[in-house]
Structure 1
Amino acid sequence: MATLSDRLDHVLGAKAAGSLSDAFDMRTVEDLLRHYPLRYATQGQPLTEEAPEDGAHITVIGRITKAELRPMRQRRGSLLKVVLDTGSGRGVDVTFFNGDKVKYAVREGARAMMSGTVNYWRPGQWNLNHPGYLILPESDGDEPTLTTVRGGGELRGIAQSAKGAGGVDMSFFEREFIPVYPATAKVQSWEILACVRQVLDQLDPVEDPLPADVRDERALMPVSDALKLIHLPEQQADIERARERLRFDEALALQLVLAERRHEVAGRTARACPPRPDGIAAAFDERLPFELTEGQRQVITEISTDLSREQPMHRLLQGEVGSGKTIVALHAMLQVVDAGQQCALLAPTEVLAAQHYRSLCAMLGDLGQAGELGAAEAATRITLVTGSMSTATKRAALLEAVTGEAGIIIGTHALIQDSVEFFDLGMVVVDEQHRFGVEQRDALRAKAKNGISPHLLVMTATPIPRTIAMTTLGDLETSTLTQLPRGRSPIASKVVPRRVHPNWVDRAWERITEEVAAGRQAYVVCSRIGDDEDGGGSRGKSGKGRAADSGKEPPTTQSVLDVFDRLRTGPLAHLRIGLLHGRLPSDEKDQVMRDFNAGDIDVLVCTTVVEVGVDVPNATVMVIMDADRFGVSQLHQLRGRIGRGRHPGLCLLITDAAPGGPAMTRLEAVAATTDGFELSVLDLRQRREGDVLGSAQSGTARSLRLLSLLDDLEVITTAQELARALVADDPGLTRHPGLAAMMHAAVDTERLEYLAKS
């Protein structure tokens, strides 16, 4: 007998277990049983006197009355034309395309089972093209026994999986649903099926981790039944009920991990930072040259309330591009500074960190110039820490942080380094949270004084659908800004199909010229830098050599270096053009952005280093080269760099994508709406949830298999409520060992860490 925790090599033997471990990282019985079928092969409809529908899947048994080998007309090779007499009054026409390979098994007089899709090649006449087949033993009135498997396709695989010491169990072919598994070239579906059947035959009754009252309230079947019926269902209802139970398990396991993290955070102690009527935050509010939106005021109140407590704030601030998150975050930081503590703002790139530094200095004015002539009374100081700073500059910045002279410290990953210390860290603000993992956020928060946890505010301009937020960031309270501040202008987006209308590209450069003539500025964004990043040559080739190996010319993309050279010597030679990409020295990048901000550069040719945080209100046009190479959310982020002032924005998406293809459809969807939440759902559906969960990138097979993060809101909500109640009543789940085991088995905690970064 076997239990879920037993090692597969003890149950299946070293050879089979080794193959499953190498291909799918399976090590235990539970790992195998949670490798759910991808689909189910059905035996199809039986052949009756009525003609089957075109495209119907049928399985027929009969005797081969004709097997004729014919040469193909258009190419080398032969077809095997077969007639199968099923006893229904007519023969079934069957065609095998690899006639020479199957002619030795598919011979006149043999009994055979064939399973395939009906194909009508003329009215009233149909056949089966290259079906799966199995040569059957002769029946002499007793149940026939198949000792040697001769066949092809799924039927051969199923027969192999049903083969035991006494031959093939032919009764298995009577099943209405036969599972088909995710497989590899080395481990076929039928091999997995054979292992699953062997394990299920030995499996001990599984103790259900879900309390009986929870199962009864939600009408969920026991997990033991679900694990059997998901693999070997008798009817369609079995599949649906098993999936319903196992889907709930996945949602609950994930929500239990998040609830445990949430409970652990709630048990920490933070310094209360109540608002001061005479502090820097109040002075900043009085100086604002514009009126905050109702949404900004509401979120500021939520955050202010959190900061006033002695439990650490743990909040996500999300909002549309340009919705004013920076003002909200700055107000929160000033409230913490008023309480005598420091704030750290973590940005994903040096360009964004420098942009934040300039923006905050400009917004605060003399309120951020402590220690300088003309500083306001009770002013604070802002300092910048990045990895590429000179030693002297960095040493001075670190000194301001450790002595407490700086109230706000802005930096990149450099802030996480051991050499960075704070005088009294009270709050951590993480911009673009998806660029940082939980461990990186925790490393920065650990720099607070012993026994004290700093408040945490994570921000994202990539709108997150509710189910995704609940599932990947369920340990955070969420605030959402939906309104755009007054003065933001609308953005129009247009797709420029370069293959169909090459002259439209020339019009794009003319459009930039017109905007610059009117006193405004433009971006031209490219997907890559282009010097030696592709292994040689300035023309980028995708596919990492696969296309070259096949002899086909791979698609090309235009590098930022090529586009910069072409524009400054060609259609935009009369304009002032700047270049910005990630490989430039830090001081050069900073100077380029300063020049663009000051209006000394008309057109900035750049990579995606400007994707987030860059704020140049005078920029009104963005041309995105090879737009089909960018994701939906990334395109939305990029175009958010324009239309930030009083003039309307124009985003031109240049592409070589085929008309009507999926890439063109995606670009047209981006051009059709500026609703970031709508686009984020589209992005997730097109990228597939597996990509969001990191199944391809993380190198392990464990992931959410049945739960849809976009479609299963009700399941996720119910699981979240139950998980929080269970953890509140039983922290650590010591009284629920089954749930604790399910939490760790069904959802890899390493995967969860990846979720926060995806």
Structure 2
Amino acid sequence: MRPPVLDPLFAPVSVVDGIGPRIAKLLGNLLPVPDAMDEPRVLGLAFHLPHSIIDRRKQPGIAFAPEGAIVTLKVRIDRHQPSPRGRSNVPYRVFAHDETGEIALVFFHAKAAWLEKSLPVGETMLVSGRVEWFNGRPNMVHPDHMVSEANAADLPLVEPVYPLTAGVTPKVLRKAVLSALERVPDLAEWDDPHLAKRQGFERFRASLVNLHAPRDEADVDLQNPFRRRLAYDELLAGQLALGMVRRKMKKSAGRVFKGDGAIADRIREAFGHDLTEAQERSLLEIGADQEKPERMLRLLQGDVGSGKTIVALLAMASVIETGAQAAMMAPTEILARQHFTSIGPLAEAAGLRIRILTGREKGKAREDTLAALSAGEIDILVGTHALFQDSVQFRDLGLAVVDEQHRFGVHQRLLLSAKGQHSDMLVMTATPIPRTLVLTAYGDMDVSKLDTKPPGRKPVHTVTVPLGRLDEVVERARNAVAAGQKIYWICPLVEENEDLKVASAEERFDALKKVINAPIGLVHGRMKGDEKDAVMRAFKQGDLRLLVATTVIEVGVDVPDATIMVIEHAERFGLAQLHQLRGRVGRGSDHSSCLLLYKEPLGEIAHARLAIMRETEDGFRIAEEDLRLRGEGEILGTRQSGAANYRLASLADHADLLEIARDDARLIIEIDPDLQSERGKALRTLLYLFERDEAIRLLRAG
């Protein structure tokens, strides 16, 4: 049960003074809304931190007020100039002066009586707002604050600025935040006292209150001690929860899988190439895990084309040699079928029985596969999410391999491994993930890295080209196709969109068909699975020479003789995505190139992205840059997948705290695994506070 001390924070925001149903609903656009509720919680308001400040201490005098700056002026009110009768579109003006010059205070749709009362002629007033200069004359449109000299103390000199949403004014939001803060209890300390002293951490409540009352720019900086304290708490909750999941999985004893190597040798023989040093190293690490009586939980990270699939197949062979079965799961049908096509011949050459199961297998064929699986007549089952279904029963699942893990949440990972009696799990990703993200999303896993490419891989020549030179690119594509080359042409949208002036895949397909005299295909996410597969197959076999596509081909599609990748509107794609797309070429022995077409003018971040793509093909460096430019949620796709998504911590700015949190969490789990000590009880509150309750449920389940 959640500790009652947290109840005030878990109440809906509508309990806060001044928030009715309408504002509560609007706040849902700004703050997280829990599944079982239709409005955010009070906690969401308390954690909604200001990003900057307005400093009203600047009082330069009218003549010295910079254009566009927010200033405070002490002025004498001279005269009112109401809007002409019947012309409400002409503003009401109030003229005032100080010893440096004159200013017009401008009001649209104003009530004259209210203004005469608020700004009496002859009175000295303090007004604060943004100054704009027109034709050499200063104006202040709708001042934020107007108080008489006698009431100067009522003017807030420093105001926090919060992220807003349409329909919620800064005043309403600030009032709601302050009410929410009053409901934050003083909680028992969960941080290690030595760490708190070393880092200069205040207590949790004091840190939160201070962050909402900034006095200068340093107080809204991500590195100030109050922000670092809250970031650390959030990271510690995440690391502790992941550590507890890992402990639970490790505790449910694993099995020892030590084969005789016979099947693996036959696979290597059929493969016909030497493995890279990184592949051999990863296999040794996986082998060591398989021989321990604990469950394997390992992440195999490898850049596009680093040879993860053969490593996974050899890992499956070790398990199958002991009489167990293996499963390989991919996030899309295209990718599942591709894995089936690429490992099928090697598996069969080694005498293994391999089948595929996706949403498309229906009727008799599906029933036959399910019956063979539960009878133990299938060694390897390749599939999509369909493998999660209750009807899929293995006789003895020893190893589950999950490809492109970041497309699946932690819960799905647990679901699949639950299909076997303590089965091992190997997760593969072609999205190189920065170390900090590996810790937050995969803190419960050991990591193997394929950081070298197989021999014979040629670098991909990358160039950036403005869209104004599209005709030249089309001409180059035409010549390349005529010379027998294969080309991918990627568009960001499926069909034309009025709001975005961006060429769609359908539009580009029609345009290229008119000028290129060769068979062209089109593939996008709205097509049915078998339609997509048919087009991909035709492109792979050479029946199509140019493929126009959306990003459905981003992950895993393998056409070794495709040598040119054109990405239209490259500025609309993230770095990791551009890197994945580029990885579709350069897979054979011929020289390959990637053309990034962009629309001018380029924003700062888009410019930085394209520059990095030109400079390097190192996926790990690209991932670090992507984290710096975009933030963590985007990279892992966690906006969708339910993995770590931080509100108070920034992985790019608080990476040092993440390392400390991980070590702290490990120590806690070692010395107080059931969180029974005084600190342990406080840590339970921390887990509830950051909504990591699954970890508490694991404690209860033992």
Q: TM-score range by the shorter chain?
A: 0.7 to 0.9
Aligned to 1:312: 295
C-alpha offsets along residues 245-285 of structure 1, whole Å, 9 cap, x if unaligned? Answer: 112111112212111112212212222112424x2113323
2:664 to 712, 722, 746: 722
- SS at the partner of 1:182? coil
Aligned to 1:484: 453
The correspondence of residues 377-392 of structure 1 with structure 2, limited to 5 A, is 379-392=351-364
RMSD of aligned Cα (Å): 3.7
Aligned to 1:457: 426
1:343 is displaced (CA, Å) by 0.7
1:51 is displaced (CA, Å) by 4.8
> What amino acid is the match of 1:541?
N
2:19 to 16, 35, 39: 16
1:478 is displaced (CA, Å) by 1.6
1:616 is displaced (CA, Å) by 2.0
1:585 is displaced (CA, Å) by 5.1
Residues 579 and 604 of structure 1 are in contact (CA less than 8 Å); yes or no, is this contact kept in structure 2? yes
Question: 1:95–1:676: structure 2 CA closer, same or farther, 3 Å change rule?
Answer: farther
> What amino acid is the match of 2:444?
D
Question: 1:173–1:694: structure 2 CA closer, same or farther, 3 Å change rule?
Answer: farther
1:489 is displaced (CA, Å) by 1.1
1:306 is displaced (CA, Å) by 0.9
Q: Does 1:114 align with 2:139?
A: no
Question: 1:242–1:172: structure 2 CA closer, same or farther, 3 Å change rule?
Answer: farther
Aligned to 1:230: 211
Provide the TM-score with structure 2 as the length reference.
0.85
> What amino acid is the match of 1:623?
V
CA distance in 2, matches of 1:331, 1:112: 80
Residues 558 and 626 of structure 1 are in contact (CA less than 8 Å); yes or no, is this contact kept in structure 2? no
> What amino acid is the match of 2:487?
A
Aligned to 2:588: 645
> What amino acid is the match of 1:457?
L
1:645 is displaced (CA, Å) by 1.0
Aligned to 2:477: 509
Aligned to 1:212: 193
Residues 33 and 196 of structure 1 are in contact (CA less than 8 Å); yes or no, is this contact kept in structure 2? yes
> What amino acid is the match of 1:393?
A
- SS at the partner of 1:355? helix
Question: 1:717–1:396: structure 2 CA closer, same or farther, 3 Å change rule?
Answer: same
Residues 118 and 126 of structure 1 are in contact (CA less than 8 Å); yes or no, is this contact kept in structure 2? no
Aligned to 1:347: 330
C-alpha offsets along residues 269-306 of structure 1, whole Å, 9 cap, x if unaligned? Answer: 222112424x2113323454222221111111111111
Identity %: 35
The correspondence of residues 173-322 of structure 1 with structure 2, limited to 5 A, is 173=155, 177-198=158-179, 205-233=186-214, 240-277=224-261, 279-322=262-305
C-alpha offsets along residues 695-728 of structure 1, whole Å, 9 cap, x if unaligned? Answer: 976999x963331112211011111111121122
Aligned to 2:512: 567
Q: Does 1:90 align with 2:100?
A: yes
Residues 127 and 147 of structure 2 are in contact (CA less than 8 Å); yes or no, is this contact kept in structure 1? no
The correspondence of residues 19-58 of structure 1 with structure 2, limited to 5 A, is 21-22=24-25, 23=27, 24=31, 25=33, 30-47=43-60, 51=64, 57-58=70-71
- Greater shift after overlay, 705-714 or 687-696? 687-696
CA distance in 2, matches of 1:497, 1:121: 38
Aligned to 1:521: 486
> What amino acid is the match of 2:227?
R
Question: 1:94–1:689: structure 2 CA closer, same or farther, 3 Å change rule?
Answer: farther
C-alpha offsets along residues 420-467 of structure 1, whole Å, 9 cap, x if unaligned? Answer: 11111001111111222222222222211xxx3211111111111111
Question: 1:237–1:685: structure 2 CA closer, same or farther, 3 Å change rule?
Answer: closer
Aligned to 1:394: 366
Residues 521 and 546 of structure 2 are in contact (CA less than 8 Å); yes or no, is this contact kept in structure 1? yes
Aligned to 1:323: 306
CA distance in 1, matches of 2:183, 2:503: 56
Aligned to 1:5: 7
Residues 528 and 558 of structure 1 are in contact (CA less than 8 Å); yes or no, is this contact kept in structure 2? yes
Residues 347 and 412 of structure 1 are in contact (CA less than 8 Å); yes or no, is this contact kept in structure 2? yes
1:342 is displaced (CA, Å) by 0.8
C-alpha offsets along residues 80-118 of structure 1, whole Å, 9 cap, x if unaligned? Answer: 363333xxx434535536486686444532332222356
1:642 is displaced (CA, Å) by 0.9
Aligned to 1:537: none
- SS at the partner of 1:541? coil
1:40 is displaced (CA, Å) by 2.5
Residues 467 and 709 of structure 1 are in contact (CA less than 8 Å); yes or no, is this contact kept in structure 2? yes
2:501 to 555, 558, 569: 555
Question: 1:470–1:17: structure 2 CA closer, same or farther, 3 Å change rule?
Answer: farther
C-alpha offsets along residues 383-404 of structure 1, whole Å, 9 cap, x if unaligned? Answer: 1112112423223322332222
> What amino acid is the match of 1:425?
L
1:45 is displaced (CA, Å) by 2.4
The correspondence of residues 342-741 of structure 1 with structure 2, limited to 5 A, is 342-364=325-347, 366-367=349-350, 379-448=351-420, 452-498=421-467, 500-516=468-484, 520-530=485-495, 540-541=496-497, 547=499, 554-560=500-506, 562-568=507-513, 570-573=514-517, 575-582=518-525, 584=527, 586-658=529-601, 663=606, 666-689=609-632, 691=634, 704-735=646-677, 736-741=680-685
1:746 is displaced (CA, Å) by 2.5
- SS at the partner of 2:469? coil
CA distance in 2, matches of 1:619, 1:11: 57
Residues 385 and 394 of structure 1 are in contact (CA less than 8 Å); yes or no, is this contact kept in structure 2? yes
> What amino acid is the match of 2:409?
G
- Greater shift after overlay, 703-712 or 641-650? 703-712
CA distance in 1, matches of 2:180, 2:529: 59
> What amino acid is the match of 1:228?
V
CA distance in 2, matches of 1:255, 1:282: 40
1:10 is displaced (CA, Å) by 11
Question: 1:116–1:591: structure 2 CA closer, same or farther, 3 Å change rule?
Answer: closer
Residues 82 and 91 of structure 2 are in contact (CA less than 8 Å); yes or no, is this contact kept in structure 1? yes
CA distance in 2, matches of 1:317, 1:563: 37
CA distance in 1, matches of 2:360, 2:464: 38
- How many corresponding residue pairs? 671
CA distance in 1, matches of 2:40, 2:532: 49
1:49 is displaced (CA, Å) by 11
1:502 is displaced (CA, Å) by 3.7
- SS at the partner of 2:255? coil
Aligned to 2:700: none
- SS at the partner of 1:646? coil
CA distance in 2, matches of 1:750, 1:563: 48
Q: Which consecutive unaligned segments of at least 5 residues does structure 1 have?
A: 145-169, 368-378, 531-539, 548-553, 753-758
Provide the TM-score with structure 1 as the length reference.
0.79
Question: 1:17–1:501: structure 2 CA closer, same or farther, 3 Å change rule?
Answer: same
CA distance in 1, matches of 2:12, 2:201: 32
C-alpha offsets along residues 206-235 of structure 1, whole Å, 9 cap, x if unaligned? Answer: 432324344224321112321221222456
Q: Does 1:744 align with 2:688?
A: yes
- SS at the partner of 2:515? coil
CA distance in 1, matches of 2:492, 2:239: 37
Question: 1:696–1:750: structure 2 CA closer, same or farther, 3 Å change rule?
Answer: farther
1:134 to 136, 140, 145: 145
1:737 is displaced (CA, Å) by 2.0
Question: 1:665–1:242: structure 2 CA closer, same or farther, 3 Å change rule?
Answer: closer
Question: 1:693–1:171: structure 2 CA closer, same or farther, 3 Å change rule?
Answer: farther
> What amino acid is the match of 2:411?
E
Residues 352 and 614 of structure 1 are in contact (CA less than 8 Å); yes or no, is this contact kept in structure 2? yes
- SS at the partner of 2:589? coil
CA distance in 1, matches of 2:165, 2:695: 22
CA distance in 2, matches of 1:502, 1:580: 21
Question: 1:750–1:737: structure 2 CA closer, same or farther, 3 Å change rule?
Answer: closer
CA distance in 2, matches of 1:46, 1:224: 34
- SS at the partner of 2:73? strand
Residues 12 and 195 of structure 1 are in contact (CA less than 8 Å); yes or no, is this contact kept in structure 2? no
